[in-house]
Structures are given as structure tokens and as C-alpha cells.
Structure 1
Amino acid sequence: MADTAWVAPGATVIGSVRLGERASVWYGAVLRAEHARIELGAGSNLQDGVVVHVDADYDAVIGAGVSVGHNAVLHGCTLEDDVLVGMSATVLNGAVVGTGSLIAAGAVVLEGTVVPPGSLVAGVPGRVRRELTEEEREGIRRNAASYLALTEEHRGAVG
């Protein structure tokens, strides 16, 4: 775990987990990596209640500047840089979500799905609906930056 990473009280981190610089794991999140590895990139945040799990053949690799919304589930998948996963969304084994993409709240990205960079994915099963605008992609980056500041507030308040 990087010195500047933060794990909130009540979050659980088990097994082969690497947390990058300024990464944050929020209250009630669970990261279980007993059969493969979990990597959380620099400046990424796993919000309250997020579950990240792996299978023997599927690491969970989360890039830099990624925000994963409350109660989302990531299972043996890859999220490239600057991705936003909405609240209660699910991304399954072998899925790869391209840089600068947004997975809508409640969406389910099925096993082995490859999401092109800059895509909006919504629905069950999740489907690419359109390409994100540059303004929307900038919003993803701003969201991650806001969690960097919020992390410092909470680090000071609760340790």
C-alpha cells in the first residue's frame, strides 16, 4: 500500500491487494484477493460499499483516476484510466472498460465484454449507448479529483 493511500475505518482489504498513490477505499468497501490480485491505481477511489473480488484466472485491475460509485461490484475485470462506474453497477470477469468511459448506475457489464474508450454504457445487460463528449470525460476527471480532496478531509477526521 502506498504511503499516501487511505483505507477508511470499516473497509476490508484481504489478500494480494496493491493500492497506488492517493488511492482511497471508503467505508464498508470490501476488497478480497485470495486467488488473484487486485490493483487500484493512483488517485482512484472505491466508494462506500463497493465490492472488488477476483477469480483464480481473473485479476481485478483498476487504473488511475477511476471512481467506483457506492455499492458497485467489480469482479475479475479491468478498468482503464479515468473511468467512472455508477452506483450499484456490476462489471464481471474478463470485462475490459476502456479509458474515459462511464458505466451508468445499475448497469451490468457481462463477462468478457470489451468497452471501447470514451463510451457510455447503460442497461442490463450493459450496452454502449454512445460516445461521451469531451465535457463528460472532463466531468469524470473532476469527480476523481473531488475524491482526492474528500479523502484528505476524512483522513484528518478519522485517521
Structure 2
Amino acid sequence: MRRALVRRAAQHFRSLCSKPAPPGEGPNHRAIMSLDADTIRPYVQPNAFVAPSASVIGSVVINDKSAIMYGAVIRGDLALIQIGALTVIGENSVLTAGAVDGMMTPSDAVSTGLALEPELWVGDYCLIGAGVTLKGCHLMGDNIVGHCSSVAEGATLGRYAILEPGTSVGEGVSIPEGEVWGGSPAQKVRDVTDDEKLQMRQGAERRYSTTASHAYEFLPVGFGYLEKEALEKTDAAVASK
């Protein structure tokens, strides 16, 4: 009798593990979210990738072949944020722009017909590491920002500028083109080599090809991926006969 109960319990446990749990009743996360009754919408190029657990909110522009990785937050509720082409925003990084006091919000600009200049600009061919904080700064392009670094308001990174992991760039600091900076506060470490400049462009292309496989696996609605996997298994079984 005891063995039969144990056997039935094991079968029940295996049946539970063979199927994913149904969706919970928690908040319905949206990776791309509009504001102000859908008047302030993010613009994401069709060939860009936004991970399902990322948050792209409000006045944000994401250009060709760029990727917003898992857990990243790009919050354009107070000012425009623009991401260039072939740029990767790493896991759990946070990009914000604008201040509550004395700052025209995107909804104000739309209602008055004013054009917005991006307050936070990340140029083309940039690699932003994991856990990075960018606020109201400008990255001119071909930049690498190491993991867990921060760049404050009004700071500028010239082309081919690199920040080592854990670097802290203060307000209004201007980092010249082709220099490597590190530390807290940030200081120049050395010049960028020609090989490093070449690798930035080549690395951007490789990163995009990697994120394409992530985009293929992502289905935006519910548990639709289960049906996709079942169809793939059926097709494979038919092909093997």
C-alpha cells in the first residue's frame, strides 16, 4: 500500500513538472509602454530587439539593429532618449533623462508643437555593459561603457571613448575622443588603440547576430511558445520518418 502511494505521488509530481505553471495574477508587464493616453509612444525599429523583461517607456527612439537586453529600463517620461544603431544596452542598466522641476515633459512638447532634442543620446556602435546608469548624458558613438559604471547629467563621451568597469563620470565631465577612463571619480588611463577601434565595429555586428536568435525565441503573447515548440517537435518527427 505504501509503495503504491509513493508511486502515485511520484507520477503526480512528474506530471506537474512536465507542464509550466499557468500565468500568475500579478502585474502584466509590457516591454514597450506608451504614456499620456497613448500619445507618447516609444519608436523601435522593426529590426531592433527589446527583451521581454526590459522596460522602454515614453519618449524613446531605438534605431536599427540595436538591442535592449533583459531587465534594462529606458525611461523617457520626462525627456527624449535616443539610442543609435547597432548599440546594445546591457542587462539591468537604467537610462533616464529630465528632471521634474522646470523641465518640459514630452506631453508638453507634443501639445505645444515643439520639436524635442534628445537629452540622453547614445550613439551608434555603443556597448553599454550590465548594471550601467546613464542620466542626461551624450555618448557620441563607438563607445564602450563597462559593467556597473555611471555617467551623470551633462557628461559627454567622445567617439571611441571607453570606460572601464565600475567607472563613475561626474556631472558635466567631457571625455575626449579615443581615450580610456576609469576609477571613481573617472580619470584618464590610456589612449585607445587602432585595433580596439576596429574591434568595436566588428563586435557590434556580432552582437546583433546574437540578439537575432533571442528575438526568434520571443513570442509576445502568453504561453504561445509552447505551441511553437510542439510544432517544431512534430515537424522534426515527420522529417525523421
Q: TM-score, normalised by structure 2?
A: 0.64
Residues 138-147 or 42-51, more deviating: 138-147
Alpha-carbon distance, 1:140 to partner = 2.4
Letter in 1 for 2:217: A
Aligned to 1:6, which of 49, 53, 68?
A: 49
- SS at structure 2 position matched to 1:13: strand
- Higher RCO (CA < 8 A, seq sep 6+): 1
Aligned to 1:39, which of 63, 73, 82?
A: 82
Contact 1:88 1:106 in 2 (8 A): yes
Unaligned runs of 5+ in 1: none
Partner of 2:98: 55
Task: Write 1 or 2 for the structure with the bigger share of helix.
Answer: 2
Task: Establish whether residue 25 from structure 1 lines up as the match of residue 68 from structure 2.
Answer: yes
- Kindly name which structure, 1 or 2, has the bigger radius of gyration based on alpha carbons: 2
Once superposed, which parts of structure 1, at least 4 consecutive aligned residues long, lie more than 4 Å away? none
* Match runs of 1:1-159 below 5 Å: 1-56=44-99, 59-159=119-219
Cα RMSD after superposing both structures: 1.3
Unaligned runs of 5+ in 2: 1-43, 104-117, 220-241
- SS at structure 2 position matched to 1:128: strand
Task: Write 1 or 2 for the structure with the bigger share of strand.
Answer: 1
Contact 1:101 1:137 in 2 (8 A): no
Aligned length in residues: 159
Alpha-carbon distance, 1:120 to partner = 0.1
Instruction: Determine what percentage of the aligned residue pairs are the same residue.
Output: 31
Residues 138-147 or 80-89, more deviating: 138-147
Q: TM-score, normalised by structure 1?
A: 0.95
